[in-house]
Amino acid sequence: MRADTGRPSALWMSEHAMDTNLLEKHSDWKWVIPARDGMRVPGIIYADEALIRDMDFKVYEQVVNVAKLPGIVNASYAMPDAHWGYGFPIGGVAAFDPLQGGVISAGGVGFDISCGVRTLLTGLRTDQVRASQRDLANALYGAVPAGLGRGGDIHLDDAGLCAMLRGGARWAVEQGWGDESDLDRIEEQGCQSGAQPEAISLLARKRQRNEMGTLGSGNHYLEVQEVSRIHDSEIAEAFGVHQGEIVVTIHCGSRGLGHQVGSEFLKRMAAEAPAHGIHLPDRELACAPLESETGREYLGAMRAATNCALANREIITHLTRQVFASLFPEAVLTLLYDVSHNTCKEEMHDVDGDRRRLFVHRKGATRALGPGHPALPSSLRPWGQPVLIGGSMGTNSHILAGMPESEARSFASACHGAGRAMSRRQAYRQWRGRQLIDDLAERGILIRSTSGRGVAEEAPGAYKDVDRVVDSAENAGLACKVARLTPLITIKG
């Protein structure tokens, strides 16, 4: 989400920090909010004590409010990177049972529907890329459009746009923007079924006509990274991740289309909630019963927006491969995995001994399927799903893998990034983009961006310590650490 309205400043958060007296400490990495005052289930926050104390109190309030929604199952969860979001906390996870009046919430999915991350393996050594680092940075910056409202070279009419919304990454491959082999390494094999382009307004479709294959702005990026440390050599080898080699990570979503879908359905859900007998503890939690007309239409629109994001990342991958081919003809960029944040997925889970069909909201969280899960491709199934954790600009990123116990602990969910420690507005007051770019260049990290303000808003100091976040995720049994990535080049809007 780009909008900063109502988000807390660092001063606000220091004065309104998490009150740990309201939490029950069940372990060093699991904190429980007992169900009370209208909560249908307890709240569970996974984090170490330092991260808990640094969370703003609004996270507590939002976890509690989500626990009051109809049909929620087991608990309202928050991941170690949790911070104040719109309705749900960013880093929030909740599952709903349609047979128990369960709901779907546009605020529980987020505005940037299917914002996600994919990582490409290159097989190149760091010294090879260092020798051409500046040329590579400039070429990527020229090839992949980035920035608020910036379009690309692909222009779709309404028929082409609707085909993209139905086909996702598979459509992109069919159009020549990607490789067939990629599809096996994308959630839902690159195409979310049940998409309904007709449920997306003309305005939302219009916003996307010229934005395919573009990064956008905010915390979205394309980053060239070195595998600087291996934590689990067996899983890393299975993933094809080797220390000292170069990977490329792409972080972006459904651009203006996803934001428009979220905005329109939030208004509609809020207006219709009383007719469904739904009392909203927070208007930002506007929702509709999964079995209602609005609920079904939102699912169809959200799935189409998910396909938009999958196609967008596939096209950017194609553009990235073209750049690498021009500078490193020997390189073959293969897709490790593509994971979406900001989704609601229909999944089967064990609840109280029964296998139940649930709709799992992950807002700023990623699915983290454990070893043996049938949704994983056979090449990854013995090891668990790659969980891709993006750091803030200039800091480490991480590759993790789903763990067997994550199914029972969080509906197979984990964190998705570092998590903001202050608002964009506060970051801009504290840092200047040009100075950050120069400072990072001295550390061997090249930044290419259309906006100095955007760089300042994404300053490393505006985020939590991502290494601490992933340590908490591993210790809580959500996902295990596989490899650490260190940036060399970052392309941003």
CATH number of the CATH domain containing 350: 3.90.1860.10
Q: In which band, very low, low, confident or very high, does the pLDDT at 452 lie, cut at 50, 70 and 90?
A: confident
How much is the pLDDT for 8? 45
Q: Does residue 2 lie within any of the structural domains?
A: no
The yes-or-no verdict on residue 418 having pLDDT over 90 is: no
The CA distance from 43 to 31, in Å, is 8
How many angstroms from the chain centroid is the CA of residue 36? 30
Helix (H) or strand (E) holding 287: strand 287-289
Helices 158-174 and 293-327 cross at an angle (nearest 10°) of: 50
Contact by Cβ (8 Å): 111, 259: yes
The yes-or-no verdict on residue 329 having pLDDT over 80 is: yes
Range of the domain at 308: 10-492
284-323 in b/e form (b: 16+ CB < 10 A) is bbbbbbbebebbbbbbbbbbbbbbbbbbbbbbbbbbbbeb
For 384-387, the CB contacts below 8 A with 24+ separation are: 384/235, 384/479, 384/480, 385/337, 385/339, 386/119, 386/239, 386/336, 386/337, 386/339, 386/482, 387/339, 387/414, 387/479
Q: What is the DSSP track for 335-389?
A: EEEEEESSEEEEEEEEETTEEEEEEEEEESEEE-PPTT-TTS-TTTTTT--EEEE
Q: Does residue 332 lie within any of the structural domains?
A: yes
Contact by Cβ (8 Å): 335, 183: no
Enumerate helices (H) and strands (E) in the chain, giving the number of each.
16, 19
Q: Does residue 147 lie within any of the structural domains?
A: yes
The single-letter code of the amino acid at 217 is S
Listed residue (344, 17, 313) closest to 168, CA to CA: 313
What are 157-186's pLDDT values in tens digits?
Answer: 999 999 999 999 999 999 999 999 999 999
The CA distance from 361 to 338, in Å, is 18
The yes-or-no verdict on residue 3 having pLDDT over 80 is: no
* Cβ-Cβ contacts under 8 Å for 435 (sequence gap 6 or more): none
Q: Which of 415 and 438 is assigned the larger pLDDT?
A: 415
Q: Out of 2-6, 301-305, 406-410, pick the least confident.
A: 2-6
83, 201, 220, 255, 301 from 206: Cα distances, Å: 32, 9, 22, 12, 15
How much is the pLDDT for 53? 92
Q: Which residues are catalytic?
A: 416
The CA distance from 214 to 188, in Å, is 22
The CA distance from 140 to 133, in Å, is 11
What are 363-386's pLDDT values in tens digits?
Answer: 999 999 999 999 999 999 999 999
The yes-or-no verdict on residue 10 having pLDDT over 80 is: no
The CA distance from 269 to 369, in Å, is 31
79, 363, 372, 489 from 236: Cα distances, Å: 24, 27, 17, 23
Q: Out of 109-123, 168-182, 202-216, 413-427, pick the least confident.
A: 413-427
Helix (H) or strand (E) holding 429: helix 424-430
Is the alpha carbon torsion for 271, 96, 44, 259 positive or negative? negative
Q: What is the mean pLDDT of the chain?
A: 93
Return the SS3 of 402: strand
Contact by Cβ (8 Å): 96, 359: yes
Q: Does residue 3 lie within any of the structural domains?
A: no
How many angstroms from the chain centroid is the CA of residue 285? 19
Listed residue (346, 266, 253, 347) closest to 305, CA to CA: 253
The CA distance from 445 to 491, in Å, is 11
Largest CA-CA distance found in the chain, in angstroms, rounded = 64
What are the helix (H) ranges across 181-239?
A: 202-208, 233-239
Token couple for 11: 């001063």
Q: Out of 100-109, 142-151, 484-493, pick the least confident.
A: 142-151
Listed residue (115, 110, 112) closest to 92, CA to CA: 110
The CA distance from 194 to 180, in Å, is 21
Total count of domains within the chain: 1
Identify each DSSP E strand in 391-462 by its residue range: 397-402, 413-415, 446-449
CB count within 10 Å of CB 425 equals 14
Phi and psi at 208, nearest 5°, equal: -100, -5
What are 270-325's pLDDT values in tens digits?
Answer: 999 999 999 999 999 999 999 999 999 999 999 999 999 999 999 999 999 999 99
Q: Does residue 4 lie within any of the structural domains?
A: no
